[in-house]
Chains A and B, each alone.
Chain A
Amino acid sequence: GAVVSQHPSWVICKSGTSVKIECRSLDFQATTMFWYRQFPKQSLMLMATSNEGSKATYEQGVEKDKFLINHASLTLSTLTVTSAHPEDSSFYICSAKGTASQPQHFGDGTRLSIL
């Protein structure tokens, strides 16, 4: 079946650094990708929706300059957490879908820990 790969699966870095997370669709062309954030023991909160070749649409309350999203190709979207701080520590999950009738497929998530 369709597979979405996220990399890295776990990253630990110092406060103030920027971290890039990749989301790839391995066997289909993802016209739309989604980025979610999950706090411990809580649900997934949609951060932004990105369509290939256009700017991402951010949900209310999500800082565009903090969470940079690029969807430059039909198989790759990246989320960059800029100048990360401990409060940005979370589990980030991406999902991807092809055509409108196709379901979303979720990646395995990236655990980000900022020291």
Chain B
Amino acid sequence: GDSVTQMEGPVTLSEEAFLTINCTYTATGYPSLFWYVQYPGEGLQLLLKATKADDKGSNKGFEATYRKETTSFHLEKGSVQVSDSAVYFCALSTGNFNKFYFGSGTKLNVKP
């Protein structure tokens, strides 16, 4: 079945460090891929998405490229800030009703 695997956390970085959170997926058909961010006590916010192979999603300095050959959608940011501290979820969506499958989430802690 469809599934998403992402690197376990927590990831602890210093401010202005480079961030990579790995995400790989398994899917039948051609899914859309997403990164969501969840701040403490809140719901999910869409960070970025890509709907087909080789698409690059980007937002707020974060970016991820849909790699069909490696079934990956790794999240990157060149210089993280303390305000980026949150839990990041990789997800895929497929089917007529866009059923979502989420990865386990990666907690990011950015220290000043």
Contacts and interface: CB of A to CB of B under 8 A. Distances in A.
Nearest to A101: B98
A26 B100 CA distance: 22
B17 interface: no
- What is the predominant secondary structure among interface residues of chain B facing chain A? strand
A100 B98 CA distance: 8
A30 to B, nearest CB: 12
Contact of A100 (B46, B96, B99, B105): B96
Contacts, number: 51
Contact of A43 (B46, B93, B96, B104): B104
Interface residues of B, number: 21
Interface residues of A, number: 22
Contact of B102 (A43, A49, A109): A43
A100 B96 CA distance: 7
Interface of A: 6, 32, 34, 41-46, 49, 51, 93, 95, 97, 100, 103-104, 106-109, 111
